[in-house]
């Protein structure tokens, strides 16, 4: 297995993330079946599908929170193997947002933002604070800097989590249903931040059921079921002209909901 | 057109408490059986409390230098406690058989420890360095009056070193930016070692040969911390000093034999002093070892996991007394003939590992209470294992397990009395020994009550402090 891909072959600008024939099992359970996806730089990919179809597992493979057993995953030309150095390098480029935010509860919002740049990137305190405030402004909650996560609303926490992620200047961001734990009134404030991010040219992979968001932001929509990619298309065709009955059924379920 | 809706104005909640009578009725006399319990309880208190107070306080004899005072008082019908007995022996109860002329050394170390623990334990009050400096000046003055100039110099040096280090560590050219550059790190390592070496040679040629190596190594260690850890706070430095410089200082000061200090072997140690030495080192070593054991038990490496599990299960399966016996009787059998291992040291090691096993289980419980998401978020941000554990996971874990750890600390403190089985005389041991004094036969009660009071005060302090910590961290993020 080659450690890094030859540039002419991978063309990192077009294919920033490449998954080819990825398979994964939990014990005997085949969660991911022959997944082939490539995501270019600046591209926005939305993944949707019914519960248990393997969406989370798929994106968690990209930063090695889950290990795949067959196939190759390349991020920016670096192959994900058991090599810790490669994993570190990939995690440096890939940020991730979670459904339940996962802020560090024992630190204030500001500390949540500064701790990683300081400990992982060796950034001096002053610089880290400036960076933190820059991104807090961007997600429009600089006034919360000295609050603890438990004192913030869900929407605010998710925006803090986005800012925390941005402080590590990732090249790609993975979103695992970032709004599904939120009340409807808070969903919009998080989606606004995500749209703003998308407009700034960030490469994004979002697992989400927010179809409005998918329509406005996505370059491509991927529909998964039972660990397989059923259909992959641009949002216009995906929503107006789905190719498979499984997709049609899923879309009808979501829209009637 | 839709109707206008507006929320109702909130009403104050009805007041249901009805003063003292209401409180008594709900808490003490709510049912016939409760009433009965209350009456029985009051009766027991009525019988015991006044007679204890009259024995311990009202009819007690407080001062005097021989038993004649107490006998006289007893003859006059004043049948209370004879605290004169304790008074006469206060020195032995506190210092054991440590030579009277050398007791100032213990006093200095206790003062240094007290003044350096204060800012650590009350970190919110002593957050800024000027308050710490004020405390330090107070410490120097107090030490000067109690012990003398040598003590106050030591106090000053030890107290202000962390302040100096934390100021130094903020100077960018010394520490920041460390950079991933291997050469920069190499230069810093070299610099630290050179300074340590310099200190070694100066100490060796000008002050004392015996301590030169240790002082040199200590200095190198502190310098390494200085050049490798970025902008460490004063508190951080106090912790580092507490686990590096303080034990070294204690070793030389308390054991002596260097710098013109007469040696005092550990079999002269005893009393409250010994209790504090055993409990203090026990607490300071058991917790870190316990943390490592807990992490090891959850490790994915099978060898480490098996070693940790077997150790914990083995230790939890035997009583502390037998561990101490093993340490004092069995352990030397495994050593070569001419190697002798201090008895106190063996007891310390035994207690540390015994309690480490218990604390490991408490901490493991806490680790299980940390949501998986915390690990995932940290990993996704690029945190490597050890940094993630020390900065993200363990601080949360330790806050969760404060009550459990406080429990272990309390029982550790009280279990120090078990060192008696291997012939070390801690506070309780000294109290018992005092009863056997032929001049003072018959004052068993006083001895035991005194020891009990001292233990109770220490334990109560730990217990209150743990409650304080719980509240502090509870309000901060729940
Ligand atoms: N650690 C695990 N061990 C065993 N099975 C797992 C594990 N994690 C997930 N699974 C299973 O794998 C399947 C896919 O899970 P995954 O979380 O990827 O689904 P999902 O598409 O994200 O669903 P949802 O929309 O509910 O989040 C599910 O059937 C789940 O039960
Ligand atoms: Mg999911």
Nearest CA residue ID for atom 29, ligand 1: A52
pLDDT above 90 covers a percentage of chain B that reads 37
A168: nearest CB among B172, B180, B382: B382
Size of interface A-B (CB pairs under 8 A): 75
**C-beta of A32 in contact with ligand 1 (< 6 A):** no
Question: What pLDDT, on the 0 to 100 scale, is given for residue A11?
Answer: 42
Domain ranges of chain B: 35-72+79-88
Q: Please check whether residue B226 is in contact with residue B192, taking contact to mean a CB–CB distance below 8 angstroms.
A: yes
B236 has pLDDT over 70: yes
* Lowest-confidence region among A178-192, B100-114, B213-227: B213-227
Q: What percent of chain B has pLDDT over 70?
A: 95
Contacts of A129 (CB under 8 A, 6+ apart): A110, A114
Q: What is the pLDDT of residues B238-275, one digit of tens each?
A: 999 999 989 999 998 888 888 888 888 888 888 999 99
Confidence (pLDDT) at A29: 92
Query: Quick check: B357 pLDDT over 90?
Result: yes
Q: Cα–Cα distance between B219 and B205 in angstroms, integer? A: 16
- Say if the Cβ atoms of A104 and B377 lie within 8 Å: yes
ipTM: 0.92
pTM metric for this prediction = 0.86
Q: Are A177 and A99 in contact (CB under 8 A)?
A: yes
The pLDDT of residue A1 is above 70 = no
Residues 99-138 of B with CB under 8 A from A: none
> What's the distance, CA B194 to chain centroid?
34
Number of H helices and E strands in chain B, helices first, is 21, 0
Write the DSSP assignment of B335-390 as a string of letters: S-TT----HHHHHHHHHHHHHHHHHHHHHHHHHHTS-HHHHHHHHHTT--HHHIII
pLDDT value of position B475:
64
By residue count, chain B amounts to: 478
Q: In this predicted model, what pLDDT tens digit does every residue of B265-279 receive, in sequence order?
A: 888 888 999 999 999
Protein residue with its CA nearest to atom 5 in ligand 1: A26
Q: In the structure encoding, which two tokens stand for residue B75, read together? A: 């003859």
pLDDT at B101: 86
Q: Answer whether residue B197 shows pLDDT above 50.
A: yes
CA distances from A103 to A89, B192, B246, B289, B378 (A): 22, 38, 37, 29, 9
**Residue B18 pLDDT exceeds 80:** no
The β-bridge relationship of strands A203-207 and A172-176 is parallel
Q: Residue B263 and residue B274: Cα distance in Å, rounded?
A: 17
């Amino acid at each position: 297995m080659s450690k890094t891909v030859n540039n002419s072959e991978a063309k990192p600008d077009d294919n920033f993330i490449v998954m080819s024939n990825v398979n994964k099992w939990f014990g005997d359970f085949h969660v991911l079946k022959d997944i082939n996806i490539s995501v270019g730089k600046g591209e926005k990919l939305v993944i949707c599908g019914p519960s248990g179809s393997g969406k989370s597992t798929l994106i968690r493979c990209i930063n090695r929170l889950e290990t795949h057993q067959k196939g190759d995953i390349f991020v920016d030309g670096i192959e994900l193997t058991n090599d810790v150095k490669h994993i570190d390098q990939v995690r440096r480029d890939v940020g991730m947002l979670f459904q339940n935010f996962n802020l560090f509860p024992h630190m204030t919002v500001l500390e949540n933002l500064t701790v990683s740049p300081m400990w992982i990137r060796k950034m001096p305190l002053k610089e880290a604070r400036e960076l933190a405030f820059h991104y807090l402004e961007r997600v429009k909650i600089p006034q919360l800097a000295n609050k603890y996560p438990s004192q913030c609303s869900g929407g605010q926490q998710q925006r803090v989590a986005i800012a925390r992620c941005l402080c590590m200047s990732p090249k790609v961001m993975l979103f695992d249903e970032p709004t599904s734990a939120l009340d409807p009134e808070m969903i919009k404030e998080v989606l606004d931040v995500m749209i703003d991010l998308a407009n700034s040219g960030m490469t994004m992979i979002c697992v989400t059921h927010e179809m409005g968001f998918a329509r406005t932001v996505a370059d491509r929509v991927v529909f998964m079921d039972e660990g397989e990619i059923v259909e992959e298309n641009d949002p216009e065709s995906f929503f107006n002209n789905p190719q498979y009955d499984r997709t049609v059924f899923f879309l009808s379920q979501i829209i009637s909901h | 057109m839709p109707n206008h809706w507006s929320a109702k104005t909130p009403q104050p909640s009805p007041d249901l408490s009805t003063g003292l009578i209401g409180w008594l009725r709900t808490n003490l006399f709510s049912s016939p059986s409760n009433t009965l319990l209350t009456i029985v309880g009051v009766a027991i208190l009525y019988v015991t409390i006044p007679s204890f107070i009259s024995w311990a306080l009202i009819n007690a004899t407080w001062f005097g230098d021989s038993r004649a005072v107490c006998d006289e008082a007893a003859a006059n019908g004043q049948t209370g406690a004879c605290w004169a007995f304790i008074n006469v022996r206060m020195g032995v109860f506190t210092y054991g058989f440590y030579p009277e002329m050398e007791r100032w050394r213990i006093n200095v170390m206790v003062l240094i420890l007290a003044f350096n623990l204060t800012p650590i334990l009350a970190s919110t009050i002593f957050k800024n360095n000027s308050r710490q400096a004020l405390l330090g000046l107070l410490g120097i003055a107090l030490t000067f009056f109690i012990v003398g100039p040598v003590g106050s110099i030591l106090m000053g040096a030890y107290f202000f070193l962390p302040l100096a280090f934390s100021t130094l560590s903020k100077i960018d050219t010394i520490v920041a930016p460390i950079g991933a550059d291997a050469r920069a790190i190499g230069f810093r390592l070299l610099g630290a070692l050179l300074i340590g070496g310099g200190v070694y040679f100066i100490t060796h040629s000008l002050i004392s040969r015996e301590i030169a190596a240790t002082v040199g190594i200590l200095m190198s260690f502190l310098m390494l911390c200085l050049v490798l850890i970025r902008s460490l706070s004063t508190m951080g430095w106090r912790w580092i000093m507490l686990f590096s410089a303080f034990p070294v200082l204690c070793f030389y000061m308390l054991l002596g034999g260097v710098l013109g200090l007469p040696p005092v072997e550990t079999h002269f140690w005893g009393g409250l002093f010994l209790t504090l030495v055993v409990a203090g080192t026990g607490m300071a070593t058991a917790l870190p070892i316990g943390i490592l054991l807990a992490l090891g038990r959850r490790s994915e490496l099978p060898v480490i996991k098996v070693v940790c599990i077997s150790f914990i299960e083995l230790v939890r399966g035997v009583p502390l007394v037998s561990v101490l016996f093993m340490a004092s009787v069995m352990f030397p059998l495994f050593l070569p003939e001419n190697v002798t291992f201090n008895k106190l040291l063996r007891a310390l090691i035994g207690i540390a590992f015994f309690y480490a096993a218990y604390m490991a289980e408490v901490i493991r419980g806490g680790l299980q209470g940390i949501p998986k998401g915390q690990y995932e978020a940290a990993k996704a941000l690029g945190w490597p294992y050890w940094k993630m554990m020390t900065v993200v996971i363990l601080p949360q874990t330790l806050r969760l397990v404060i009550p459990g750890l406080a429990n272990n600390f309390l029982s550790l403190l009280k279990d120090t009395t078990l060192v008696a089985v291997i012939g070390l005389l801690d506070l309780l041991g000294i109290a018992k020994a005092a009863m056997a004094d032929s001049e003072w036969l018959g004052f068993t009660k006083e001895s035991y009550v005194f020891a009990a009071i001292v233990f109770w005060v220490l334990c109560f302090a730990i217990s209150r402090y743990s409650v304080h910590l719980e509240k502090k961290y509870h309000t901060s993020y729940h």
